Structure 1
Amino acid sequence: MIEIIGSLFILAGAIFLFSAGVGILRMPDTFTRIQSGTKATTLGNMLVLTGLAFYHPGWTFKLVLAIYFVLMTNPISSHALSRAAYRIRTPMTPSTSVDMLAEDEAGEAGAKPPAGNAGRRKRS
């Protein structure tokens, strides 16, 4: 029974990891690709590692540390990547309706940006 539960966790993790790959291929711009990849891979990795803990109970402590590491590093690294992409003015998809970072930067400067993608700085 334990092996079946472990197998189900690993299968669920594999499905999430597959959906992350599909999301990276199908999303229209860098920012949505980063988000789809990060969220699905974080959950997929956690499920696979949990399934491995069912298969190998002696590895549980090490696998919990690996899960903790994934939980701490994936969101932070995706934030850093998306912030860097924004700062080098990577274009957003035209369907983006709100640019919260442009609003934040304009708020610091004391001006209100136009709504939508129009407040986005253009590449020179």
Structure 2
Amino acid sequence: MLIGELSRRSGVSERLLRYYERMELIHSERRANGYREYDDRTVDTVRRIRALLAAGLPTRIIRQALPCTFDEATLRPCPGVLTSLRDQLNVLDRRAADLEAACRLLRRTIAATENAAN
């Protein structure tokens, strides 16, 4: 299928599909006219990529984990993938803690500003 069809079937823009290809997440064959030709299975691959992105994974980890996917939420054991996933979870936990601290500070600032206005 051509990129337009892949875009329509996956719900992902052509621009983003080209990005996924540059990041080596999906692959195409080139026709003689230069058009990209994708396998039908690429639709499922794009869905897996979207699910992994939604889980907070960067493309470098997705590239590593993608060959290990059964479906959008299940991975089979692959060398190094579990370690990468745990490392990414630690990154997200730290970000969540930083955001929570920022929220607490903002709440205190709002409360102090409201009290000063009264």
Check whether TM > 0.5. Answer: no
Bin for the TM-score computed over the shorter chain: 0.3 to 0.5
- The structure having more radius of gyration, on CA atoms, is 2
Higher relative contact order, structure no. (Cα contacts within 8 Å, ≥ 6 residues apart): 1
**Going by fraction, where is helix more abundant, 1 or 2?**
1
Q: TM-score, normalised by structure 2?
A: 0.36
Q: TM-score, normalised by structure 1?
A: 0.35
